[in-house]
């Protein structure tokens, strides 16, 4: 594999991720994430195990190689920008696009827009401003693809291959969406190399993270039929784990079917 973190680098990455999240703990951004559902009990070991199944399924385990461009998908997770910066500095792409406007979950944390804040963070980590394109309008993954393509075409950047940098539990849906909407490009997906437990420690809310993981998996299962993505094979054990989590109440990020 061309890209990997040593033990000390990984520890520093986790500390950085936790710090970037904790810095906003009192800013109100978590209120947007949590929504209105209530939860007054601990997550059981069985629920944790089921969520781990979904988390593991989302990991594409792509072997990274140099590509034409990196595209960081905007969200509440500043770790996406940090990892995209790491990949740029490792020489895996010569130009980096950050794409994303705002959603109810990010408006308070990133008032100037997800892509703008990602760019600013990447620059503090050593990515030159001249190597970053900002796409500030996208509000969903399909628009991330379409608007990033427009930004790259306008900038005159030829693209044959893409590394998509996203949240760890969104890899498979991101891959499936890019392959559907940009079929002529080779697509690889990458996320911060964090375990499920490390990611929860960074966010600080187990119920919230499992809700988001369940929502991401549901979209993988539903969106190909809507024409939003290419189909992905979902093993029976993953479907069963999802259904148990849905029955247990991890539903705040689910689509009403």
Write the pLDDT tens digit of every residue in 190-209.
999 999 999 999 988 999 99
Question: Where residue 38 falls among pLDDT bands split at 50, 70, 90?
Answer: low
**Tokens for 162?**
């893409």
Average pLDDT over residues 123-142: 97
Which residues form the domain of 240?
Answer: 7-59+198-248
> What are the start-end ranges of the E strands in the chain?
69-73, 96-99, 132-135, 161-165, 186-190
pLDDT value of residue 124? 97
Claim to verify: residue 76 and residue 182 sit in the same structural domain: yes
Claim to verify: residue 73 and residue 182 sit in the same structural domain: yes
Domain count for the chain, please give it: 2
pLDDT of residue 21 exceeding 70 = no
Per residue in 161-198, pLDDT tens?
999 999 999 999 999 999 999 999 999 999 999 999 99
pLDDT of residue 29 exceeding 90 = no
Residue that is last in its domain, among 190, 211, 240: 190
Whole-angstrom distance, CA of residue 204 vs CA of residue 33: 12
Distance of CA 117 to the CA centre of its chain: 15
DSSP summary character for residue 99: E
User: Per DSSP, what are the bridge partners of residue 135?
Assistant: 99
Contact, 202 vs 18, CB < 8 A?
A: yes
**Tokens for 237?**
């054990």
Task: Compute how many other C-beta atoms are within 10 angstroms of the C-beta atom of residue 123.
Answer: 15
On whether residue 257 sits in a domain, the answer given is no
Whole-angstrom distance, CA of residue 240 vs CA of residue 246: 10
Claim to verify: residue 162 and residue 234 sit in the same structural domain: no
Claim to verify: residue 77 and residue 130 sit in the same structural domain: yes
Per residue in 224-251, pLDDT tens?
999 999 999 999 999 999 999 999 999 9
pLDDT value of residue 105? 79
Q: Are strands 161-165 and 186-190 parallel, antiparallel or unpaired?
A: parallel
Residue that is last in its domain, among 190, 213, 233: 190
Question: To 5 degrees, how large is the angle CA 112–CA 75–CA 80?
Answer: 105
Claim to verify: residue 79 and residue 24 sit in the same structural domain: no
pLDDT value of residue 15? 44
102 or 158: which leads in pLDDT: 158
On whether residue 131 sits in a domain, the answer given is yes
Residue that is last in its domain, among 170, 190, 210: 190
CATH code, domain carrying 143: 3.40.50.620
Contact, 73 vs 165, CB < 8 A?
A: yes
Contact, 183 vs 161, CB < 8 A?
A: no
pLDDT value of residue 6? 39
Burial class (CB in 10 A: 0-12, 13-18, 19+), 183: exposed
On whether residue 64 sits in a domain, the answer given is no
Average pLDDT over residues 66-76: 96
Average pLDDT over residues 112-141: 96
Claim to verify: residue 163 and residue 211 sit in the same structural domain: no
pLDDT of residue 26 exceeding 70 = no
On whether residue 253 sits in a domain, the answer given is no
Claim to verify: residue 73 and residue 54 sit in the same structural domain: no
On whether residue 158 sits in a domain, the answer given is yes
Average pLDDT over residues 14-41: 46
Average pLDDT of every residue of the chain = 88
DSSP summary character for residue 44: P
pLDDT value of residue 3? 44
Claim to verify: residue 24 and residue 114 sit in the same structural domain: no
* Main-chain phi, psi angles of 97, to 5 degrees: -105, 130
Claim to verify: residue 30 and residue 81 sit in the same structural domain: no
pLDDT of residue 10 exceeding 50 = no
Question: Where residue 104 falls among pLDDT bands split at 50, 70, 90?
Answer: confident
pLDDT of residue 65 exceeding 70 = yes
Whole-angstrom distance, CA of residue 87 vs CA of residue 90: 5
Q: Are strands 161-165 and 69-73 parallel, antiparallel or unpaired?
A: parallel
Residue with tokens 């989590």: 245
pLDDT of residue 23 exceeding 60 = no
On whether residue 148 sits in a domain, the answer given is yes
């Amino acid at each position: 594999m061309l890209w990997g973190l040593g033990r000390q680098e990984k520890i520093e990455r986790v500390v950085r991720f936790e710090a970037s999240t904790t810095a906003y703990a009192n800013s109100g951004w978590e209120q947007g994430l949590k929504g209105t559902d209530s939860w007054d009990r601990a997550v059981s070991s069985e629920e944790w195990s089921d969520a781990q199944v979904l988390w593991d399924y989302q990991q594409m385990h792509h072997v990274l190689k140099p590509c034409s461009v990196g595209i960081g998908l905007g969200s509440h997770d500043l770790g996406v920008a940090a990892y995209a910066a790491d990949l740029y500095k490792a020489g895996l792409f010569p130009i980096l696009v950050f794409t994303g406007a705002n959603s109810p979950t990010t408006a308070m944390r990133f008032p100037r827009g997800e892509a703008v804040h990602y760019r600013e963070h990447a620059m503090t980590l050593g990515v030159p401003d001249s190597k970053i394109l900002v796409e500030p309008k996208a509000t969903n993954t399909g628009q991330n693809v379409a608007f990033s393509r427009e930004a790259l075409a306008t900038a005159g950047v030829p693209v044959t291959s893409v590394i998509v940098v996203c949240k760890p539990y969104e890899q498979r849906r991101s891959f499936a969406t890019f392959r559907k909407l940009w079929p002529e490009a080779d697509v690889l997906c990458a996320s911060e190399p964090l375990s499920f437990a490390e990611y929860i420690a960074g966010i600080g809310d187990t119920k919230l993270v499992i809700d988001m993981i369940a929502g991401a998996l549901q979209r993988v299962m539903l969106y190909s039929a809507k024409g939003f993505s290419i189909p992905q094979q979902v093993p029976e054990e993953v479907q069963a784990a999802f259904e148990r989590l849905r029955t247990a109440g991890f539903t705040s990020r689910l689509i009403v079917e």
